[in-house]
């Protein structure tokens, strides 16, 4: 997606050889017009998959997942990172490490919103090692729902996350693939 590449080059910053800061686009501030274009592109890529629901992990994946769900005309479901006092005691949970946060968190999805009748599209903002994505994929599998595929806004292809998910036979579509951040320079595939 050329528009996204241009915006990344203008507005993102390289923290180190492994971390790209996308606060101006995805992780702190959101451009609604760009976000809607990303959602339309994911909807186009998965148009033939009979998606019943879009799923993501809170919080940075929510805007693009919402735009995708809107374009597809289906509900959006997001996995929570923290249990609340009114959380479903029978929720599907998975413990996952966060690459950017450097901590381990629990993600959870209520069983009532993810069923065997669902064919879900998983949308995420960025993939590095893929631990959080694999955790949500496990939850989807345990629910009995079908996973149509994974849509990633920014894939860091120099890290193993997306590759290991593709090796599981899951369709992964990335809007942008970054092959290197070495020396503070963003290089696209």
Binding residues: 20, 27, 128-132, 156
The b-or-e profile of 94-109 (16+ CB within 10 A means b, else e) is bebebbbeeeebebbb
What residue ranges in the chain does DSSP mark as E strands?
13-14, 20-21, 53-57, 76-79, 92-98, 103-109, 119-127, 146-156, 172-180, 187-188
Binding-site residue ranges for 5-phospho-alpha-D-ribose 1-diphosphate? 128-132
Rounded Cα gap, residues 5 and 175, in angstroms: 9
Angle 187-121-143 from CA coordinates, rounded to 5°: 130
Run of H or E including 62: helix 62-72
Binding-site residue ranges for xanthine? 20, 27, 156
């Amino acid at each position: 997606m050329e528009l996204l590449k241009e915006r990344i080059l203008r507005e993102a910053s390289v923290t180190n050889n492994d971390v790209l800061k996308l606060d101006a686009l995805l992780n702190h501030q959101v451009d609604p017009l760009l976000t809607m274009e990303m959602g339309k592109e994911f909807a186009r890529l998965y148009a033939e998959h009979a998606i019943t629901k879009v799923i993501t992990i809170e919080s940075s994946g929510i805007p693009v997942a919402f735009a995708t769900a809107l374009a597809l005309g289906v509900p959006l479901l997001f996995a929570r990172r923290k249990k609340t006092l009114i959380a479903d005691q029978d929720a599907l949970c998975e413990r996952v490490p966060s690459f950017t946060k450097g901590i381990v968190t629990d993600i959870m999805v209520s069983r009532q919103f993810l069923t065997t009748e669902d064919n879900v599209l998983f949308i995420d903002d960025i993939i590095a090692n893929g631990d959080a994505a694999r955790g949500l994929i496990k939850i989807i599998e345990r629910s009995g729902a079908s996973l149509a595929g994974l849509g990633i806004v920014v894939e860091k292809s120099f890290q193993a996350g997306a590759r290991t998910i593709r090796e599981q036979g899951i369709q992964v579509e990335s809007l942008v693939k970054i092959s290197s951040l070495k020396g503070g320079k963003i290089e696209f595939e």
